[in-house]
Amino acid sequence: MKAEIITIGDEILIGQIIDTNSAWMARELGEIGIQIIQISSIADRHSDILKAIELAETRAELILMTGGLGPTKDDITKKALADYFQSNWQVDEEALENVKNIFRRLSRPMIQVNLDQAKVPDNCLTIPNLKGTAPGMWFEKGNHIYISMPGVPHEMMAMIQNFIIPDLKRKRKFPAIFHQTLLTAGIGESFLAEKLSAVEENLPDHIRLAYLPKLSQVRLRLSGYGVNQEEIEKEVSHWSEKIIRLIGDYLVFKGDGTIAQAILLELEELGKTFALAESCTGGFISKEITAIPGSSKTYLGGLVPYSNSLKTKFLGVKESTLENFGAVSEETVVEMVQGLIHGFEVDFGLVSSGIAGPGGGSIAKPVGTVWLAWGSKNEIHTQKLSLGNDRIINIERASIMALYSFYTFLKNQVK
């Protein structure tokens, strides 16, 4: 099945927001065998919307639209679709109830434009919006399906996952597909590709391997397409095992997870707790950990000791250590992790101290110098990173490297 995505909204055309929706949709729909053949981003304009739909029809069977809904957009997409399908207007009771519930929960007064969200063309099916007020719309004409969704990412995502994909599966036949994701860290994309070249050359045509690199992590995705579900799963698993053997210790997670998730699983299995002290990463690692439901079972807490006095007061780092070696030093991070384990009464600790930039660098310790330490009461490990000049990237990269090192350490603990 071929599909085209039409994103509607001036904010994309003036470059104020980056269209991340399309890539997400392409991946989700790709999972069930839908191929995106074009993505068109157009203005919030009636005539442009109609023209884009007409052109998309000549290229694709499924047309997915996002954006141009809601009060401030003047519901331009809804009006264009109503014209296109010569609809009359009707109030969708379920959508109206949803709008009312949301305003009730927020204890906010409703105005007419909010109620108007529930008015929809009478010849479409509405798609419930679990995360917001504007319902989605599903039209059909001939062999074509036209779906309109809000542009707000989490609203769109909930519609695709809960309603659109299940409905498409009911209405059309798709090939048997199986995906296996493998998260790797600590190895660059080109080195990984070299390691895997022998396997890649032998992959049959109906099994594809994609590399999805992101700061210090590469996600591998094996996708198999076939007729029989059980067979394709077996075949993909066979190749994924071959790949896992070649990746070795760089494998962090088998499946669609994060390093933070892998760490929490290891800790649960070990029945141990941990804490963080993040100077240069400033809470980034804690944010990654606490994003995961149930993290409080093993993560007891963290400290962001931005000032040196907090390193001394709460982690017991000696003033003489700070004076003699500086806050960004192996000596300091070792004392930080010792003090953290002791003070936070945890089994393991992970700490960072570095110069994220753009200021604060020196010849001896340029911007991008980061010290990490992790361990237990019995053993402490350290690592020095020499990163680049971009503050945001340095923080993120140091966080991922710290998580990866900590994960490797946990994996080697006796269970």
Contact set for its own copies, span 6-35 (CB under 8 A)? 10-20, 22-28, 30, 35
Identify whether the C-beta of residue 124 lies closer than 8 Å to the C-beta of residue 78: no
Provide the minimum distance between the beta carbon of 81 and its own copies in the complex, in angstroms, as a whole number.
Answer: 19
Q: Which stretch binds its own copies (CB under 8 A): 231-239, 369-377, 390-398, 407-415?
A: 390-398
Q: Output 203 or 300, the one with its CB closest to its own copies.
A: 300
Provide the minimum distance between the beta carbon of 414 and its own copies in the complex, in angstroms, as a whole number.
Answer: 25
Per-residue b/e over 100-118, b at no fewer than 16 CB within 10 Å? Answer: eebbeeeeeeeeeebebbb
Q: Output 87 or 405, the one with its CB closest to its own copies.
A: 405
Binding of its own copies by 84 (CB under 8 A): no
Burial (CB < 10 A; 0-12, 13-18, 19+), residue 71, is middle
Binding of its own copies by 114 (CB under 8 A): yes
Structural tokens at position 157:
């995502």
Q: How is 215-256 classified by DSSP, letter by letter? A: TTEEEEEEEEEES-HHHHHHHHHHHHHHHHHHHGGGEEEESS
Q: Output 42 or 95, the one with its CB closest to its own copies.
A: 42
Q: Output 271 or 294, the one with its CB closest to its own copies.
A: 294
Q: Binding its own copies by CB under 8 A: which of 106, 227, 363, 414?
A: 106
Binding of its own copies by 325 (CB under 8 A): no
Q: Binding its own copies by CB under 8 A: which of 54, 141, 154, 255?
A: 154
**What part of residues 239-278 is at the interface with its own copies (CB under 8 A)?**
276, 278
CA distance 343 to 314: 7
Binding of its own copies by 314 (CB under 8 A): yes
Residues in the interface with its own copies (CB under 8 A) total 98
**What part of residues 122-141 is at the interface with its own copies (CB under 8 A)?**
131
Provide the minimum distance between the beta carbon of 401 and its own copies in the complex, in angstroms, as a whole number.
Answer: 12
Binding of its own copies by 98 (CB under 8 A): no
Q: Output 18 or 414, the one with its CB closest to its own copies.
A: 18
Q: Which stretch binds its own copies (CB under 8 A): 87-95, 213-221, 235-243, 373-381?
A: 213-221
Distances (CA, A) of 294 to 194, 223, 226, 261, 313: 38, 30, 37, 10, 30
Binding of its own copies by 287 (CB under 8 A): yes
Question: Binding string to its own copies for residues 342 to 371, with x set by CB under 8 A, is what?
Answer: -xxx----------xxxx------------
* Residues contacting 54, CB < 8 A, separation 6+: none
Strand partners, 136: 127
Structural tokens at position 184:
């790797």
* Residues contacting 55, CB < 8 A, separation 6+: 40
Provide the minimum distance between the beta carbon of 233 and its own copies in the complex, in angstroms, as a whole number.
Answer: 18
* Residues contacting 86, CB < 8 A, separation 6+: 123
Q: Output 178 or 344, the one with its CB closest to its own copies.
A: 344
Provide the minimum distance between the beta carbon of 290 and its own copies in the complex, in angstroms, as a whole number.
Answer: 3
Provide the minimum distance between the beta carbon of 109 and its own copies in the complex, in angstroms, as a whole number.
Answer: 9
Distances (CA, A) of 160 to 31, 157, 286: 12, 5, 30
Peptide bond into 358 cis (omega under 30): yes
Binding of its own copies by 184 (CB under 8 A): no
CA distance 61 to 143: 7
